[in-house]
């Protein structure tokens, strides 16, 4: 205990290899100075309290004079158990309190401070047990010495010693590395990551990209590293388009953190960006401003739109499934697949004698066909109320403007225009220039294509990591939609197919429960107080929930199945550019000519 004021104090006892505690058990020897220099400091910080009940799940520690414990510190104590030998009880500090012992009234604090009233300042810490080794579930005895965990004990306490394949997550409050078991990421024993937090403060996307970087560079993938892919959907400006550029703001202090984690401080090595064509551009030039290399335009031809029945992704809002025209969507999509015929090499189609070269043409053709009583029955297959048809057409017409740049029939059909993960280790699909309606379409169609590709391959290897922000928008708790169906498929079957979802959302309470519950690793950054009180954050102890409401950017609370308490992790400053202004060797197009200085883009412009 720390005692101040007029009360007497007792000096901390020196620990020797032969010393036995007041409880009668043997105490561990302190490490030599050489060992202390090579490992974490192994020091006695206090004793197990006898005024608070100690259990195999938690206990309280009274601190020695001059000793300090803070939240997230890892501590250990030992007990001799007859027939079992020495039992290690390790845990993480979850609460720290200081109070005056001997004070009866609140006003006594002034008398104690003036020395007029004797009292002792007592500091105590609550420890939540994480591991008992061997598993003899007995409580630590009151009076037993408690130590700040050394390197070996720390690894035992946090189960790092049994993680054959571990991924660095960042550093703990002690500055030492913290890990996640890769078995719970690659599908061996679990899969998927759910990241929650306040937008703009929780740094969800930054943590997701660091996690990917750690996976690719920690060595756990071995020979599979080159073939393992990541697909990132970018919805926030062009911040994620420079992952393969050095960060100009990276300093030596940040580099030292990467060295401590066993990671190189460098950007991603292989990145390809896919962006939608510029609106009203006849050449299909990618709609990006800052990045000029390694960028390809993506879109779908009208032929693909009809053959692959992509019409259902035009109605990808949950409200569409609740509407009466959901059945009509499937019927019309089936007719388009059966009746559409390719015209020329530009991706145009002919349907019922009408040639369609743009998405607007296709919508106008459908409007004419469905409003005509004679042809309506051919399209619907049954008597359909005119009100239902009109509702369908209103919704379809509202999609013309957002989808016209990415559903085309006026560009050469042979031109590469598909989103592919085979070109680079990290493929980024830039969505920030698209309206929300078009974003839903792209996410749904791309995810379906990649999921079907993995299904047809018949093997889970190589892995595909999918990073998707705003998960509550694509897989809301209420309602159904084509995208939600795909994400549920990924969450429930993706583990066996090697498709790993890293989903981020502001509010986990608004995401489909089955997706969150299938996530083996759960992460929370800064949380809104009202959101933190929801049952979806039951994996956070009450004290950690309170801390999450004031967490600083860069601090995440990570829960994984092996460790009973979430770990407070500080991940390092990105070694890659997170915005155009941070990118080394930045290239900017001339403001006078939007195509000038765009190497690799002019080659995609078809000849006139």
Whether 409 contacts 302, CB under 8 Å: yes
Question: pTM above 0.75?
Answer: yes
Q: What is the pLDDT of residues 339-373, one digit of tens each?
A: 999 988 778 899 988 999 999 999 999 999 888 88
The list of the chain residues with pLDDT below 50 reads 1-40, 586-608
Q: What does 41-99 look like in DSSP terms, one character per residue?
A: ---EEEEE-SSS---SSEEEEEEPTT----TT-EEEEEEEETTTEEEEEEEEEEEEEEE
Whether 511 contacts 477, CB under 8 Å: yes
Q: What three-state secondary structure class fits 594? A: coil
pLDDT score recorded for residue 27: 39
Tell me the domains of the chain and their CATH numbers.
33-162 (2.40.10.170), 166-298+418-555+577-582 (3.40.50.300), 300-413 (no CATH)
Expressed in angstroms, the distance from the first to the final Cα of the chain is 84
- CB contact set of 581 (below 8 Å; sequence gap of 6+): none
- CB contact set of 454 (below 8 Å; sequence gap of 6+): 460, 464, 497, 498, 499
Residue 280, judged by CB atoms within 10 A of its CB (0-12, 13-18, 19+), counts as exposed
Q: Residue 542: enclosing H or E segment and its boundaries?
A: helix 542-548
pLDDT score recorded for residue 323: 56
Task: Give the chain's radius of gyration (CA, Å).
Answer: 30
Strands 521-524 and 499-505, bridge-based pairing = unpaired
pLDDT score recorded for residue 9: 34
Whether 283 contacts 259, CB under 8 Å: no
Sign of the Cα pseudo-torsion (23, 28, 32, 38, in order): negative
Angle at 234 between CA 179 and CA 168, to 5 degrees: 10
pLDDT score recorded for residue 74: 94
- Rounded Cα distance, 175 and 160, in Å: 16
Q: What three-state secondary structure class fits 10? A: coil
pLDDT score recorded for residue 35: 37
pLDDT score recorded for residue 322: 54
- Rounded Cα distance, 559 and 516, in Å: 13
Q: What does 327-358 look like in DSSP terms, one character per residue?
A: HHHHHHHHHHHHH-EEETTTTEEEETTEEE-B
- Rounded Cα distance, 529 and 228, in Å: 38
Of the candidates 426, 506, 461, 484, which has an alpha carbon nearest to the alpha carbon of residue 233? 426
Whether 132 contacts 88, CB under 8 Å: yes
Q: Residue 522: enclosing H or E segment and its boundaries?
A: strand 521-524
Strands 120-133 and 58-63, bridge-based pairing = antiparallel
pLDDT score recorded for residue 19: 33
- Rounded Cα distance, 410 and 417, in Å: 13
At what angle are helices 326-339 and 373-380 packed, to 10 degrees?
90
Q: What three-state secondary structure class fits 365? A: helix
Bridge partner residues of 47 (DSSP):
62, 145
Q: What does 292-310 look like in DSSP terms, one character per residue?
A: -SSEEE--EEHHHHHHTTT
Structure-token match 């001059």, residue found: 66
- CB contact set of 394 (below 8 Å; sequence gap of 6+): none
């Amino acid at each position: 205990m720390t005692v101040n004021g007029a009360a007497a104090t007792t000096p901390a006892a020196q620990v020797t290899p032969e010393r036995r505690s007041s409880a009668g058990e043997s105490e561990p020897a302190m490490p030599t100075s050489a060992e202390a220099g090579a490992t974490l400091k192994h020091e006695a910080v206090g004793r197990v309290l006898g005024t608070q009940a100690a259990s195999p799940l938690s206990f309280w520690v009274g601190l020695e004079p001059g000793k300090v414990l803070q939240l997230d510190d890892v501590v250990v104590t030992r007990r001799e158990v007859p027939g079992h030998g020495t039992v290690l009880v390790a845990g993480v500090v979850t609460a720290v309190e200081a109070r005056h012992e001997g004070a009866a009234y609140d006003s006594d604090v002034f008398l104690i401070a003036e020395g007029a009233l004797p009292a002792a300042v007592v500091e105590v810490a609550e420890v939540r047990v994480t591991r008992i080794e061997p598993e003899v579930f007995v409580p630590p005895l009151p009076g037993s010495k408690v130590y700040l965990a050394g390197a070996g004990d720390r690894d035992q306490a946090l189960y790092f010693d049994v993680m054959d394949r571990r991924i660095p997550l960042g550093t703990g409050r002690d500055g030492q590395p913290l890990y996640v078991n890769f078995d719970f990421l690659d599908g061996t024993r679990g899969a998927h990551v759910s990241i929650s937090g306040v937008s703009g403060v929780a740094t969800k996307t930054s943590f997701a990209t660091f996690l990917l970087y750690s996976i690719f560079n920690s060595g756990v993938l071995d020979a599979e590293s080159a073939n393992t892919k990541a697909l990132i959907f970018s919805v926030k400006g062009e911040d994620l388009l420079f992952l393969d550029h050095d960060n100009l703001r990276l300093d030596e202090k940040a580099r030292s953190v990467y060295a401590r984690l066993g990671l190189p401080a460098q950007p991603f090595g292989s990145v390809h960006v896919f962006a939608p064509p510029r609106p009203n551009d006849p050449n299909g030039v990618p709609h990006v401003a800052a990045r000029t290399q390694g960028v390809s335009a993506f879109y779908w031809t009208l032929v693909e739109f009809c053959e692959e029945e992509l019409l259902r992704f035009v109605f990808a809002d949950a409200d569409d499934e609740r509407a009466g025209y959901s059945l009509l969507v499937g019927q019309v999509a089936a007719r388009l697949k059966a009746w559409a015929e390719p015209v020329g090499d530009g991706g145009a189609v002919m349907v019922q004698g009408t040639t369609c070269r743009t998405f607007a043409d296709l919508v106008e053709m459908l409007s004419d066909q469905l409003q005509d009583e004679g042809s309506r029955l051919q399209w619907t297959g049954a008597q359909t109320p005119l009100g239902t048809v009109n509702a369908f057409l209103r919704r379809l017409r509202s999609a013309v403007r957002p989808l016209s740049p990415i559903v085309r029939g006026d560009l050469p059909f042979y031109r590469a225009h598909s989103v592919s993960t085979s070109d680079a280790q990290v493929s980024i699909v830039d969505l920030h220039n698209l309206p929300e309606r078009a974003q839903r379409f792209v996410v749904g169609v791309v995810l379906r294509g990649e999921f079907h590709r993995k299904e047809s391959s018949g093997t889970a290897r190589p892995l595909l990591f999918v990073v998707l922000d705003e998960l509550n928008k694509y897989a809301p708790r209420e309602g159904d939609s084509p995208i939600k169906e795909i994400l549920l498929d990924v969450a429930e079957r993706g583990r066996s197919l090697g498709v790993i979802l890293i989903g981020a959302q502001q509010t986990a309470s608004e995401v489909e429960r089955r997706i969150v519950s299938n996530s083996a690793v759960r992460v929370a950054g800064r949380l809104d107080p009202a959101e933190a009180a929801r049952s979806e954050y039951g994996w956070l102890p009450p004290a950690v929930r309170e801390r999450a409401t004031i967490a600083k950017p860069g601090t995440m609370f990570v829960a994984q199945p092996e460790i009973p308490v979430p770990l407070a992790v500080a991940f390092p400053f990105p070694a890659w550019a997170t915005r155009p202004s941070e990118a080394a060797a930045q290239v900017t197009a001339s403001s006078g000519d939007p195509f000038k200085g765009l190497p690799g883009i002019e080659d995609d412009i078809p000849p006139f």
